[in-house]
Structures are given as structure tokens and as C-alpha cells.
Structure 1
């Protein structure tokens, strides 16, 4: 039996700001953009990495109270972390800083053997980027 990563969902308070971050700053390609009433799902992928996608969504929950609680956790970066890797970590980091992205950790050689950085996307999600 084999198993592979297919997609990962990333919650977004502002779907257009999230799209700008993941598409324009990180360089992901938009595969699909679907709206239904007030909700929107945008599927993005890295060029050359077929079968693995990030899905941005502004849908948090059906119940308004649950959605509000999740929105608060999202803003604090408590709903999870997305990890990427880049062949030019320092160049990508410089582009993110220039764009005003909130930096959590500058590119650092970690004790576990990787060089990476950490930033927040516009919704508050933690995004870590490893040097490939």
C-alpha cells in the first residue's frame, strides 16, 4: 500500500489577501477558484509538484459561534502550520520582508539540521520555509 499527500487546507479570514500571499509572494499557481454563496475555495500548487495542493478557504464552520471562535484561533496562528521549501530561502525571505509580511523567525540554521524561516500569512497562519 502507498499513500501520498494530496492537499492541505488553509483557513483564511480574507481570501483575496491569502491569494495574494500564496500566489504572488510565494509563487504558487492557481489550479481552481470556486465560490459558493459567501464561501470560496482556491486550490494552488507549486510548479512541477503534481498531485500536491494547498486549498485556501474562508469557510470555518456552519455555526456562527463556532466560526467566530475559530476565527480568533486563526488570527493567533493556532490552527496549524504550513511548511514549504525553497531553493533560494534568503531571496524568498527578502521578498516577503519587502512586502511587509510579519516575520516570526529570520532564516536560521536549526539544531535539527535544516535552515528555515517562519512568517505569518495575512490570516495569522504560521508559514515555515525550509532551504531545499
Structure 2
């Protein structure tokens, strides 16, 4: 039997305003900035949790792939405006303190800390681009 040695290295989330997204992930969530390339709205910013150098989020401009059609770009923009395009699931040992810190940043609260019927306690916010950020409590 072949055993695969695969890890999650980087996940992608689109941004609308790179400075707002950077402020949210760096200043509110406390992630380290690993890379910041480009200018203006065309910036690719890599952030990640301190002490976990092999796990990152790439905050990138949406729909810049030259293979994407104008119709696809419009669909992506519409989905981002509704908050249905990008999402990520994070985890913390202290959900209540994390919730209070994120809520104090004026991030849009989608769900306050809640015990889910499937045994997970979590909360949810939208980042500045409208991406859903769910945060689970580690047990």
C-alpha cells in the first residue's frame, strides 16, 4: 500500500480591497503577512497563523485568470457581492474571546457562537470582501 504524504499548504480567498482584507486577516485575526506582491487592487497577499509556516491563505484579486470569460467574471462579482463565492473554516481554543475580538472590529456577524446539532460550537463572520469566515471551537 502506498501512503500519501500530502498537506494543505495554501487556500485561496478573493479580495475586493487588498488593504481592507490585509487589515482584517493581520490586525483582527492576528495572522502573519508572508508575502505581498503587486500594486493597487492587483495584489496577491499571503497570510497565515503564527507558528504554522506551512499553512497559508492567499488573498488574491478575483477573476484575473485570462481564461475566464466576461460572463464568468460577472457571475463571480455577483456571488462575491452576496457573500456566496468564498469561505473558509478556522479553529480556535477560545471561541468566545475570538468572537468578541472579531465583533469589535465591526466585521459583519453572520452567526454568534452557537452549539450546532452535530456537536461543534462555532460562529461566523464576513470578511471585507464578503467571504464567509466560520470559526470552530477546538475541544
**TM over 0.5, shorter chain:** yes
Q: 1:38 to 1:129 in 2, by over 3 A?
A: closer
User: Is the Cα contact below 8 Å between 1:89 and 1:116 reproduced in 2?
Assistant: yes
**Runs of at least 4 residues off by over 6 Å:** none
* Structure 1 unmatched ranges of 5 or more: none
* Structure 2 unmatched ranges of 5 or more: none
Larger Rg: 2
* Match 2:76 to one of 70, 74, 77: 70
Q: Give the TM-score, by structure 2 length.
A: 0.87
Aligned equivalent of 1:3: 6
Q: 1:127 to 1:37 in 2, by over 3 A?
A: closer
Matches within 5 A, 1:47-66: 47-61=50-64, 62=66, 63-66=69-72
Q: Give the TM-score, by structure 1 length.
A: 0.91
Q: How many pairs are equivalent? A: 132
* Match 1:39 to one of 38, 42, 61: 42
RMSD: 1.7
